[in-house]
Amino acid sequence: MELSTNNQLQRPLEPVEEKAVSPWLEAWRSFRNNKLAVLGTLIVLFFILLAIFAPLIAPEGINEQNFEKRLLAPSSEHWFGTDDFGRDIFSRVVHGARISLWVGFLAVTGSIVVGCLLGILAGYYGKWVDTIISRFFDILLAFPSILLAIAIVAVLGPSLKNALIAIAIINIPNFGRLIRSRVLSVKQEEYILAAKAVGMKNSRILFHHVMPNSIAPIIVQGTLAIATAIIEAAALGFLGLGAEAPNPEWGKMLTDSRAFLVQAPWTMIFPGLAIMLTVLGFNLMGDGLRDALDPKMKN
């Protein structure tokens, strides 16, 4: 018995196999443990659900006018009060979520598609292609973004669609330069060099190897850019260059309520709060994604 016990004690311990954890799963765990990021995600989901179910949530039509009820203070009948046309502000703020989120998502999607395409071409092929595309980015970045957006809308004409186009254009260089720098790093990796050595086509290398390994910073930047796009859309609407009446766009609602700031401050407070909370949600979520996806941010 003693000999058997000694043999067991002298037997080397077998190494315990650790299960490999997916980088995306690890990022999700990090994101989930970030309370502010979760809070931001809940705020964003709240406004998305608000936009989806706006017809069911809004108690009145967005353009139903009743001059007998104009500029009423918030009450149980009208939670956010009424505007100078007697329209229910709560209903208009709820429907305004559709417009602001729609502009934010579509504008950023357009910026990502065009910016990433140009950035990938510049970073992968280099030489004169990189020079031309980089100078194009420099020209766009030479102008203050909001002034460039105003100039584009002034040329195209004031409308929500043209404001969306302008916002997409001014955000192209942000994504283009980001993906270009990432591609410059990725294309030097051994698996890219091996793919070239075996004769793989450039298009296949770009879309099957370079793009998937460059997408993480784009997700973070895209989330933060949606918040910026919502602010820019509100700014253009406030200047009368975005959504046209009677659309319940939050920036347009702010400019329409300027004359009643002292008499009926709720006409400006609630659209302003909607903008603030939506932008705050996207910023918190974007910061959480950056911390989860960027290895340099991890302890």
The CATH topology of domain 39-59+86-297 is MetI-like fold (1.10.3720)
Domain residue extents for the chain:
39-59+86-297
Alpha-helix runs per DSSP H in 22-126: 23-32, 35-52, 54-57, 89-125
**103 neighbors 167 (Cβ within 8 angstroms):** yes
Check residue 246 and report its DSSP letter. Answer: T
Q: Which of 20-24, 55-59, 209-213, 268-272 has the lowest mean pLDDT?
A: 20-24
Q: d(Cα 223, Cα 263) in Å, to the nearest integer?
A: 37
Q: Which residue is it, tokens 């929500």?
A: 160
The pLDDT tens digits for 48-101 are 999 999 888 887 777 778 778 888 888 888 888 888 888 888 989 999 898 889
Q: d(Cα 293, Cα 297) in Å, to the nearest integer?
A: 8
Q: What is the pLDDT, as a whole number, of residue 299?
A: 46
E-strand spans in 147-234? none
Q: What is the pLDDT, as a whole number, of residue 69?
A: 82
Q: Is the pLDDT of residue 130 over 70?
A: yes
Q: Is the pLDDT of residue 33 over 70?
A: yes
Q: Which residue is it, tokens 């319940």?
A: 248
Structure tokens given for 60: 């009145």
**89 neighbors 267 (Cβ within 8 angstroms):** yes
**182 vs 203, which has greater pLDDT?**
182
Q: Is the pLDDT of residue 278 over 90?
A: yes
Q: Is the pLDDT of residue 225 over 80?
A: yes
Give me the mean pLDDT over the 266-277 stretch. 91
Q: Which of 173-182, 254-263, 287-296 has the lowest mean pLDDT?
A: 287-296
Q: What is the pLDDT, as a whole number, of residue 107?
A: 92
Q: What are the backbone angles phi and psi of residue 88, rounded to the nearest 5°?
A: -70, 115
Q: What is the pLDDT, as a whole number, of residue 169?
A: 93
Give me the mean pLDDT over the 214-234 stretch. 86
Phi-psi region of 81 (alpha: psi -120 to 50; beta: other; left: phi over 0): left
Half-sphere exposure at residue 134, Cβ-oriented, CA atoms within 13 angstroms: 13
Q: Is the pLDDT of residue 214 over 60?
A: yes
Give the three-class secondary structure for 156. Answer: helix
Q: Which of 133-137, 202-206, 265-269 has the lowest mean pLDDT?
A: 202-206
